[in-house]
Chain A
Amino acid sequence: MDLDDLLGKKLIVVTGKGGVGKTAVSLALSYLNVKHKRNPLFVTLKQIKRGSDFFGFEGGIDSVERPLDKGINAVYIDPNTALREYIRENFVRLYPVYAAILKSKTLQTFFEAAPGLKELITIGKVWHLGTRGGRRGSAGPAYDQVIFDAPSTGHAIPVLNLPSKVLQMARGGAFRSHIEWVEGFLKDPGETAVVVVSAPEEMVVGETLDLIDAVKSIGISVLFTVVNKVYENPFTVNEVETIRDLSLSIKTPAAEKLLRIAKSHIERANASDKYIKKFRGGIKDGVLVVPKIFKKDLTPADLKYIASRCEAQLGGGI
């Protein structure tokens, strides 16, 4: 696993348990693209309204691709809209019939009752956005890489699992060929890879290892796991000892607090270490460690810092 491996993929699917920092890592990977003069597209399933506090980006993310920051384009995909577009492009071109079909309650019901349809069409759209042509003055695709900030584990596994599940059911029909196409690019390790985001906590570690197994058993390649929010120990062995000695001798209340924080931080750093070792033991595809940033809301500068930390741990380079 090196930087070329990462940047060489067309689609990176970022997933993990809720609350581990998938979006921050997805954006950091987008910045990594920019740093290497590449043109990434960040795709999310959550609409970000203009002016909402999203990593300090003012513009928000809407259903039309537009720059989020210098060099990064971003877009929000609404599964319902994607479904409508799919129908329009593939089946019904006659507008009045298309409009009437979409309104039909039966069809609405059908879409609800046929799980996976929307999700699979959404993944198809993610791929399509990244690979279609369109860059000005060039015959190549519009973007070098699509970074898909995917739903969290609970939802991701069923979705990634859907192609084969639906294929069992749908023995004919145009959707079958759509699914085969989706399976084709999801399972091509040269084109698509999953990046799993995790955190050094008991609850998260187990779920992450299960997720990685599940993704692999579906036949999709996992590029690496980012262990995020890691407590790093800034102290040398000698300093740790000094801190222990000091806490016995210094008794002023303020200093006591300071030392207590330091000791508790060291304890957490040790726990983080233990989980990172567990990851490294259980995952062959590589583990990147990203430190906890002591801020409630991250800024673009923090995202770039995460990107540089990831880069430093990836070998190779262009």
Chain B
Amino acid sequence: MKKLDRLVEDKRIIVCIGSGGVGKTTITSVIALEAASRGRKTLALTVDPSKRLAQSLGLSAGAPAGKVSKRRMKEAGYSGRGELAVRLLDVKKTFDELIMKVSPSDGAASRILANNYYRSVADSIAGAHEFMAMEALYSSYEDGSYDLIVVDTPPSEHLSDLLSAPLRLHSILDSQGFKSFFIMDRLSFGLTRLITSASLRFIQGIVGIEVIHDMWEFFSEFESVSEEIKSRAGKAYDLLKSPSAAFLIVTNLSEASINNTLVWQKELSSENYPVGAVVVNRTSRYWDLPGITGTMDLESLPSRGLRDKLAGLYKGYKHEADAEKKALKRLGTGYPCITVPEIDTEVIGLKDLRGLRGYLFG
């Protein structure tokens, strides 16, 4: 066994993280398909697949969930032992379901869901997207129907956005501070009173009394679900730190992406999250090119112009490959590092995904 075989056979959760545009969704799909073909009941939770990749994964236009059947897996060259369930993250819907799940009564749930503040902006609060990605993961895990859940996360520049989102969002929503504000305005004296009144007037001045009212109503109602949400977030963290989870950092060899990867490696290990591997995606296929003199045996070519064009192209690719080799060294060797070279065609269909499996699995 080598590479990622162990992970797809043993783990319950695999979380793929990475900067935007590195190919997280593709790698997530390759991993999920492999796990399914090895007979594990697998769910892929994905964020933003391209339209055609989504179709390949069984998500017909706009559908929130789908599956890759045994038959289609077999057609693409997989064993046909398992099938793969796929779900698209819907922030608002996950948030609504969470509220319904944890509310003490139907009445309380519907009051929150109908609140103007909740309806207009709750899903755009900083961290809501990441929080709901975690919640979707946790509720699928809790559900118990899957052996393995592979999660494709929203692109994030700061890992903390992803990992602390639940707690941060929770602390915003569960704002004792916000409520005490109103009470303080009535009860306090002196400078405190001056400041709270000024702050309150200031907020009112900015957004108007209606917003304050909507928010106040929401925060009061939120109290009834706050504890439960916090405890779920806590459990989700515990799960992600447990040996049944693994993080995969997906990166390319651009300066920015490497820098992010190095920071994340540190952050993950200092917070005790298990890192499974670093997947370096779409690397040059020409790492082994000899210097340009080695290609000069094209003297037989009829045209000098063509010879120059070929040499120019060769130099470009060689330059790129050399720069990549240097960049790869920066990534270090703290974790297993898997490189997946770029291929000529785009990864769109199941067969294309299957074509990549050899780089990740033995």
A interface, CB within 8 angstroms of B: 17-20, 53, 87, 91-92, 97, 100-101, 104-107, 109-110, 112-117, 152, 154, 158, 162, 165-166, 168-176, 201-207, 234-235, 239, 242-243, 246, 250, 252, 254-255, 257-259, 261-262, 264-265, 267-268, 271, 294-297
Contacts and interface: CB of A to CB of B under 8 A. Distances in A.
Contact of B124 (A165, A204, A235, A295): A165
A219 to B, nearest CB: 19
Contacts of A258: 295, 298, 310, 314
A172 B290 contact: no
A18 B19 contact: yes
A107 B196 CA distance: 10
Interface in B302-317: 302-303, 305-306, 309-310, 312-314, 316-317
B6 interface: no
Contact of B313 (A112, A116, A202, A234): A234
B210 A171 contact: yes
B255 A296 contact: yes
Interface in B159-214: 168, 171-173, 175, 177-178, 180-181, 191, 194-196, 198-199, 202-211, 214
Contacts of A166: 120-121
Given A17-B20, A113-B175, A250 B298 contact: yes
Interface string B16-37: 0001111101000000000000
A265 B284 CA distance: 12
B124 A158 contact: yes
28 contacts: A20-B21, A100-B191, A105-B177, A106-B199, A112-B126, A115-B125, A168-B120, A169-B207, A170-B210, A171-B208, A171-B210, A172-B208, A175-B208, A201-B346, A202-B50, A203-B50, A206-B50, A246-B301, A250-B300, A254-B297, A255-B297, A257-B295, A258-B314, A261-B313, A262-B313, A265-B317, A296-B253, A296-B324
Contacts of B51: 206
Contact of A257 (B52, B168, B289): B289
Contact of B344 (A17, A162, A268): A268
A254 B293 CA distance: 9
A264 B302 CA distance: 22
B116 interface: yes
Given A117-B207, A261-B286, 17 more contacts: A17-B21, A18-B21, A97-B194, A106-B175, A109-B178, A112-B172, A113-B172, A113-B173, A152-B20, A162-B124, A169-B116, A170-B207, A171-B208, A171-B211, A174-B205, A267-B344, A296-B253
Interface of B: 19-23, 25, 48, 50-53, 116-117, 120-121, 124-126, 154-155, 168, 171-173, 175, 177-178, 180-181, 191, 194-196, 198-199, 202-211, 214-215, 252-255, 257, 286, 289-290, 294-295, 297-298, 300-303, 305-306, 309-310, 312-314, 316-317, 319-320, 323-324, 327, 344-348
Given A109-B177, A175-B206, A257-B295, A296 B286 contact: no
Contacts, number: 206
Nearest to A268: B344
8 nearest CB pairs, A to B = A18-B20, A19-B21, A172-B208, A173-B208, A294-B316, A296-B323, A106-B181, A18-B21
Contact of B121 (A20, A91, A165, A296): A165
A10 B104 CA distance: 53
User: B-side binding surface: helix, strand, loop or mixed?
Assistant: helix
A264 B344 contact: yes
Contacts of A152: 20, 155
A109 B172 contact: yes
Nearest to B194: A97
Given A109-B172, A265-B313, A203 B53 contact: yes
A134 B22 CA distance: 42
A162 B126 CA distance: 13
User: A-side binding surface: helix, strand, loop or mixed?
Assistant: helix
Contact of A296 (B172, B254, B305, B317): B254
A173 B205 contact: yes
Contacts of B52: 202, 206
A176, A242, A254, A265 pick with most chain B CB within 10 angstroms: A254
Contacts of A239: 303, 305-306, 309
Contacts of B53: 202-203
A173 B207 contact: yes
Nearest to A295: B319
A296 B309 CA distance: 21
Contacts of A158: 124
Contacts of B345: 271
A87 B121 contact: no
A173 B206 contact: yes
A255 B203 CA distance: 71
B50 A113 contact: no
B214, B298, B310 pick with most chain A CB within 10 angstroms: B310
B42 to A, nearest CB: 22
A117 B121 CA distance: 11
B206 A92 contact: no
A207 B125 contact: no
A158 B124 CA distance: 8
A60 B360 CA distance: 39
A169 B212 CA distance: 10
A91 B200 CA distance: 12
Nearest to B219: A113
A165 B199 CA distance: 24
A206 to B, nearest CB: 5
A247 B44 CA distance: 43
Contacts of A105: 177
Contacts of B319: 294-295
